[in-house]
Structure 1
Amino acid sequence: MTEYTYDVVVIGSGASGTSVAFETRAAGLSVAIVEERSWGGTCVLRGCDPKKVLVGAAEARNFSKRLRGKGIKQAATISWSDLMAFKETFVENVPEQRLQSFQEAGIETFFGKAQFQSKETLLVGEDLLHAKNIVLATGASPNKQDIPGNDFILTSDDFLSLKHLPDSVTFIGGGYISFEFASIALAAGKEVHIIHHNSNPLKKFDPDFVAALVSLMEEEGVHFHFDTTISKVEKKAEKLQISGENDFVLQTDNIIGATGRTPNISHLDLEKAHIDYTKKGITVNEKLQTVSNPHIYACGDVAATKGAPLTPVVSMEAAIVSQNILGADDAIHYPAIPSVVFTSPKLASIGITIQEAKEQPAKYQIKNHDTTNWYTYKRTNEPLALAKIIVDKSNQQIKGAHFLSEEADYMINYIAILMKANLTLSDLQSVLFAYPSPASDLSALN
């Protein structure tokens, strides 16, 4: 056994772990990073980045489909194999490049599972790592259904690497992963089903807009099975058969489970370092330190924080961890965080919810806008474009916003800037935006 000593040991090479490693190393500390899977982590290898490549193809297909007969003769079609090959160009070189960047920065790398031996010591294979500071950034993994036949159920990781997309695909779960992947599979011309155990999918988004999105996706061909709890999966000839309560039976070619993610902590032997955790992840304080030891930190999806499991959020948490390791005493403060479901149309949200606003009618005003007939949306023949803006009645500052449209991702980012600057929609009257564009519509939302 070989022993090493470092100022910082980071476990996990995703967005948060990589950021901490580079920041602390740039400050002159001795740093090591441990990875047990592939260098680079979820977002760039099997998450948002490769997903967005597939979304791009679906957008092209849907755009041309909406304009068919309006100047476009034929809607685009998706070649799954070509799309997967294109996606792979964004992924295939990441592990080697990330490893090389660590080595060039003087960050020592260890490949394997890390296990606590004490509050200051980790075992990685045959190597024993001693550290003044340890950062847990191991992320999360897709949940597995605890039912007979769960080996037939693939994960989101598997979907993003499918060499062949079969004729019918079924997604289990009512979160953004199911909706996004269903939208992609539908654009690829496949029969698509979504099964959800209750009737409230996308529960963190505006229910009115979710209902409108579900209705549109149903019109496009997605089959929704709400209030359906599955009990088993079995092979029936060439098909997979899903059975559930109330005699529910569905045959499909492919099943993707998307019922949430579990923090990657089971292999860490956290008890040996007296680290507290729950099913939501590692328990940390406002400085992202574990309760048992201020020199052990957790950030990103493995930490039980108030931050959403989004890449910009985990990067912000990593920045706090780095600063505190380097001598600061900073607490994490989460701003209003924009979130987008990349379906067609897209669903976006930031700030307080409509329900929260309705519970305080004296404080908040909700401004509803049906923008379907606005020029921005008519020129691309969008079937539905909606917006809700929540303002503080006392000063008209924006406190929340919700969009359903193909431009929702752009619009929510504009709102994020306005909220950060404590500006109102009226403040935009003096700003000249390029016209016509989604941005030039902002002042009309007043």
Structure 2
Amino acid sequence: MSHLTHPPAASHDLVVIGGGSGGLAAAKAAARLGASVVMIERAELGGTCVNRGCTPKKLMWSAAAQQQSLREMAKVGLIDRPHLDFAALRRRSDAKIDRLNRHFEEELQQAGVRLLRATAEIGEAGQVHAGGDVFQPGKLLLATGARPRALDIPGGDLAVTSDDVFHWTDLPGRLLIIGGGYIGCEFASIFAALGSEVQLMTDSDRLLEQFHAPAIDCVQAGLEKQGMTIEFGCKPVQIDFNGTMFKVSFDDGSIQYADRVIAAIGRVPNTDNMGPGLQGIAHANTGALAIDEHFQTSIPGIYAIGDVADRLPLTPVATRDGACFAAQHFGAGADQVNLDLVPQSAYTIPPVAQVGSMSEGQDDGEVIANLANDALDDGTAANSFVARAICDGRLSGIALVNHAAPEMIAPFAALLASGASADDLAAVTGVHPSFGEETVGP
């Protein structure tokens, strides 16, 4: 008599590996459409965005932006020198995230999704092994996200990543950040505003390369007004620690010292160590999984969304793609969201936001003094910026730098989608005095 080494496979319409923004959206939507759904997640629900990304970063940024404003008011004698309890900020942020984690679990239960806390492995026959169970999915959806890229130099493991920063309970006196992308620039802004002495080093020739260059010139000027030092065209080659201070050596011969070092050199999609069932799966040039318009990978029956897939690695895209996947495979169908109409923003101080193409019909934009804040300006307040691109008489792109930029950019995306003309923008006025009035009118 033979003995089974594994329990018999349970059949489900959909097995989702990964409980981040995309996986949650897909699982809930598919279950509400009548599919039997299992979600497998080995860590906290909410993925990077909620636990190690957008949410804790935005909470830190909000406090930092307030602290920057208070510091400016103190310098012109309107208030006493402000004090921030960073440990208290960390506790409030952790409590917010804990509430979100529990909320996501409740939503899965209400939708009828089975949640399994385990590490998943995909077998050669397409079966999914997790927590002692075996599943035979009708469709398998990978929503495993991405992780910070490691700094591959001697002593590189001495640098922390964004995952670690959100556990800090105190502020570093001197902070060195390696990398000039989203994460590096956002942390540089946040910690400079909170009171750290910040130095940012990047091997690129400018910051935030995916944004309109004149807009980033304005951002950089604002960062430097905050007191931080920015160096370009240099790569770290070694990190040492003497028990008190970090020493970072660069390829140009320079040496920097800091209390803490953050490596912010990009992210790597989590496509590895998932079992033999993914052997030979096709990757895009980004390192993420190549997918078609129905989110299918090169292996039939296996699909991918979120940061593990070759789409924009943004939470709103993952969420929309999750709902779209469910509608395509278990509902009446849907089209993938148009990535050309997806706004992007970096939460520097002030933040930059952009949507559409700035490559055709662009102007260099205009740097704008913040008239509404002049009375509080101690000389270090950053300016704002606006640039519009007009192609064939239609708005084709816009770039904004202002505290309100992330809130304003979505309506401009709607204007792009509706085919708004230059005359449409010229016909309206904004509220005075405000940054908004600079974005419309002739």
TM-score (normalised: structure 1): 0.90
Of 418, 421, 446, 2:418 maps to 421
User: Tell me, what secondary structure is at the counterpart of 1:59?
Assistant: helix
Matched, 1:246 2:246: no
1:113-169, CA deviations, whole angstroms, 9 ceiling, x for partnerless residues? Answer: 211113531111321111101111111000111111122111101111112222111
CA distance in 2, matches of 1:82, 1:95: 20
Aligned residues: 431
CA distance in 2, matches of 1:260, 1:211: 21
CA contact (8 A) 1:171 1:258 kept: yes
User: Tell me, what secondary structure is at the counterpart of 1:148?
Assistant: coil
Matched, 1:388 2:394: no
Question: Corresponding residue for 1:400?
Answer: 397
Question: Corresponding residue for 2:365?
Answer: 368
Question: Corresponding residue for 1:443?
Answer: 440
Question: Corresponding residue for 1:291?
Answer: 298
Greater mean deviation of Cα atoms: 4-13 or 73-82: 73-82
Question: Corresponding residue for 1:86?
Answer: 92
Question: Corresponding residue for 2:160?
Answer: 154
Of 67, 70, 79, 1:64 maps to 70
CA contact (8 A) 1:33 1:107 kept: yes
Of 352, 359, 364, 2:357 maps to 352
CA distance in 1, matches of 2:291, 2:345: 27
CA contact (8 A) 1:120 1:133 kept: no
CA spacing shift, 1:421–1:68, aligned 2, 3 Å: farther
For the aligned residue pairs, the C-alpha RMSD in angstroms reads 2.3
Greater mean deviation of Cα atoms: 126-135 or 266-275: 266-275
Matched, 1:128 2:127: no
Specify the code of the residue in structure 2 equivalent to 1:309: P
CA distance in 2, matches of 1:71, 1:159: 33
CA contact (8 A) 2:390 2:422 kept: no
Structure 1 residue 344: Cα displacement = 1.1
Matched, 1:411 2:408: yes
CA contact (8 A) 2:12 2:137 kept: yes
Of 307, 310, 325, 1:321 maps to 325
CA contact (8 A) 2:207 2:220 kept: no
- Give matches, 1:31-70, under 5 Å: 31-68=37-74
CA distance in 1, matches of 2:323, 2:435: 32
CA contact (8 A) 1:338 1:348 kept: yes
CA contact (8 A) 1:389 1:398 kept: yes
Question: Corresponding residue for 1:360?
Answer: none
Specify the code of the residue in structure 2 equivalent to 1:263: P
What fraction of aligned residue pairs are identical, expressed as a percent? 27
Structure 1 residue 431: Cα displacement = 5.9
1:246-305, CA deviations, whole angstroms, 9 ceiling, x for partnerless residues? Answer: 322111111111110000111212655653224521111122111221x32111100013
CA spacing shift, 1:207–1:272, aligned 2, 3 Å: closer
Structure 1 residue 380: Cα displacement = 5.7
Structure 2: gaps of 5 or more residues: 1-5
Question: Corresponding residue for 1:76?
Answer: 82
User: Tell me, what secondary structure is at the counterpart of 1:184?
Assistant: helix
CA spacing shift, 1:230–1:156, aligned 2, 3 Å: same
Question: Corresponding residue for 1:30?
Answer: 36
CA spacing shift, 1:250–1:31, aligned 2, 3 Å: same
Of 207, 225, 233, 2:231 maps to 225
Structure 1 residue 87: Cα displacement = 1.1
User: Tell me, what secondary structure is at the counterpart of 2:167?
Assistant: coil
Structure 1: gaps of 5 or more residues: 358-363
CA distance in 2, matches of 1:443, 1:212: 20
CA distance in 2, matches of 1:232, 1:330: 49
1:183-202, CA deviations, whole angstroms, 9 ceiling, x for partnerless residues? Answer: 11111211111111122221
User: Tell me, what secondary structure is at the counterpart of 1:161?
Assistant: coil
Of 264, 267, 276, 1:261 maps to 267
CA distance in 2, matches of 1:177, 1:7: 37
1:344-372, CA deviations, whole angstroms, 9 ceiling, x for partnerless residues? Answer: 1211211112xx22xxxxxx253733332
- Give matches, 1:101-140, under 5 Å: 101-118=107-124, 120-140=126-146
Of 206, 211, 219, 1:205 maps to 211
CA contact (8 A) 1:350 1:401 kept: yes
CA contact (8 A) 1:434 1:440 kept: yes
1:42-69, CA deviations, whole angstroms, 9 ceiling, x for partnerless residues? Answer: 1111110111111111111122233446
CA contact (8 A) 2:290 2:309 kept: yes
CA distance in 1, matches of 2:276, 2:422: 49
CA distance in 2, matches of 1:346, 1:120: 44
CA distance in 1, matches of 2:421, 2:167: 44
CA distance in 2, matches of 1:434, 1:54: 29
Specify the code of the residue in structure 1 equivalent to 2:316: P
User: Tell me, what secondary structure is at the counterpart of 1:17?
Assistant: helix
Specify the code of the residue in structure 1 equivalent to 2:400: F
User: Tell me, what secondary structure is at the counterpart of 1:297?
Assistant: strand
User: Tell me, what secondary structure is at the counterpart of 2:440?
Assistant: helix
CA contact (8 A) 1:113 1:267 kept: no
CA distance in 2, matches of 1:385, 1:431: 20
CA spacing shift, 1:6–1:153, aligned 2, 3 Å: same
